[in-house]
Amino acid sequence: MRRFLALCIVVLCFFPSCGSEENDFTYDLSASPLNLDPQSASDPSSLQIISSIFQGLTAKNKDGDIVLSAAEKCVVTDNGLVYRFQLREDLCWQDGEKVTAEDFVYAFQRLLSYETQAPDASNFFFLENAEAVYHKTASPDALGVYADGEETVVFVLTEKRDDFLSLLATAAAMPCDRAFFESTHGKYGLEEDMILGNGAFYVSIWRDGYLRLRKSATYFDADQVTANSVLFSFLDENEDDPKKRFLSGTTCAYLSQDDLVLSDAYGVEKKENILCGIVFSKTGAFADRDLRLALGYACERQRLEDLLGDKGTVAYGVIPGGVAFGGGLYRNVVSEEITLPYDEQAALSAYRNWLQNHPEGLSSLTVIIEEGSGNEGYFSELSQSWQRDLSLFFTVEVLPKKDFGRRLESGNYDCAVLSFGGKQEDPSSYLLDLFPSEASYFTPSEDFYSLVDQGKQEENEEKYRQAESLLVDEGILLPLYYRFSYFYQNRKVGGLTYDFDTGIIDFKEGFFS
């Protein structure tokens, strides 16, 4: 019978600077975490914290390679369908109890239970009987994940998957102690004392506006963890400006889409991983494909080249250059341009087709742009060709972030300029992130999702290319340009690793010089 977790509440101290001699870090998250249950979490803030308090069988190291983590040994059959992981002998939960193979088995049973509604469940449907378990036509015990003793976890796959070890490093594959989970009575992952992790940190306090992690003494590699604590502040509950907090030294790092051109007191890493493009409301003038195509053919992207300078590049497709694929970059494989070419005659033809069905014509179109996104000037430049070629005029509304979000959600606009960061680990994740289920703008047909699924299952770049083409040819999304995202940190800070693919910071080896 395991002993259950008891945590002491500590008094929170706000540090005037981003750290101290004890390596205490402060970092701003854009929103409060919704749920620290690894099997059901999907929001970026939750995933950041989960990555710090849980450890999976595998992990991504600072060089971006997938290595063994909670497992010390992995044996794979010649056909690549059976994986046997031997757990580390010193693998413990934060309360000192041993992590067993059953904890990983139960995690996967929860992940593939329909009741969990896990967002990443389908990523593991290649496990034996996984779909049948999910759809309740097979019992959880039939799942191709089982324990062979206390320290060996066995996975049985229905097809060879080169990405399996990478998937085991994601939040969905983190262990779960069944007895502890059941003791929370539906509150697992929702409160500080309803979380049991096995990672480098544990949640010491979770309140409105902030959450603090402290170093876990029971972590198997605790001697290599130099960070003592991490204080996360939630900006949706605190109206502070994250940029000002970083520049004042309150926080240790800052993620931005802006090139701040800072002094040598700051370090910076960057990656071209943001697509800026136009989406269209499901209602109104752009409900007709012809008008969307008219805008696409009259989009003179090259006008942006001088404006962008070294801050980005003109879009040559939907997926930006930083998205990974097959051990390299997707754009190194699919290098051809996937956009509608600038064609004044094609634009006029599509517009005339639209006018035949809408003889009342247009007076003005409303476009919404988020304040501070940097998109206003670029849109203004492009709109000149739409005025010249099609006599289309736009009323531009630049809105503060919260107001922009509300308008986007309401659908009360004709078109919107969005910046898509998205997940970078593969084309499938990036493409699916473009269209959240609650989107008020045009979303693609089932053909798109089928192509993306085939691309992922077959690791087929041609399917992804076809999915990109479908978005462009149907006028679902009008790609404009790619921009960099930047990760800044104070020069006094060392050891932090930022993963541009997942948007997660690894604080374990952080220190102050």
Can you give the residue ranges of every domain in the chain? 24-248+491-512, 271-485
Locus of tokens 């600038």? 342
The mean pLDDT of 488-505, rounded to a whole number, is: 91
DSSP letters for 163-212: THHHHTTSGGG----HHHHHHTTT-TTTSGGG----SSEEEEEEETTEEE
- Which SS3 state, helix, strand or coil, does residue 341 take? coil
| Fold of the domain spanning 24-248+491-512 | D-Maltodextrin-Binding Protein; domain 2 (3.40.190)
Parallel, antiparallel or unpaired: strands 365-370 and 394-399: parallel
The mean pLDDT of 312-338, rounded to a whole number, is: 90
| pLDDT of the residue at 345 | 96
- Which SS3 state, helix, strand or coil, does residue 369 take? strand
| pLDDT of the residue at 48 | 97
- Identify the CA nearest to 260 among candidates 271, 249, 247: 247
Q: Is residue 476's pLDDT more than 90?
A: yes
Higher-scoring residue by pLDDT: 125, 238: 125
Q: Is residue 268's pLDDT more than 70?
A: yes
Most confident of 133-147, 252-266, 380-394: 133-147
Look up residue 423 and give its two tokens: 């997940």
| pLDDT of the residue at 10 | 30
Higher-scoring residue by pLDDT: 257, 384: 384
- In 282-375, alpha helices (H): 289-297, 305-308, 330-333, 344-357
- Per residue in 7-54, pLDDT (tens digit) is 332 333 333 456 555 799 999 998 999 999 999 999 999 999 999 999
| pLDDT of the residue at 485 | 87
Give 411's pLDDT tier (boundaries 50, 70, 90): very high
Give CA–CA dist 336/320, Å, rounded: 12
| pLDDT of the residue at 19 | 54
| pLDDT of the residue at 68 | 98
| Fold of the domain spanning 271-485 | Dipeptide-binding Protein; domain 3 (3.10.105)
The mean pLDDT of 69-94, rounded to a whole number, is: 98
Please name the residues in contact with 121: beta carbons below 8 A apart, sequence gap of 6 or more.
111, 112, 134, 172
Counting residues of the chain whose pLDDT is more than 70, the rounded percentage is 94
- Identify the CA nearest to 430 among candidates 480, 405, 464: 464
- Per residue in 170-189, pLDDT (tens digit) is 999 999 999 999 999 999 99
| pLDDT of the residue at 9 | 28
H or E element, residue 51 = helix 44-53
Look up residue 458 and give its two tokens: 């077959």
- Per residue in 425-452, pLDDT (tens digit) is 789 989 998 998 788 999 999 999 999 9
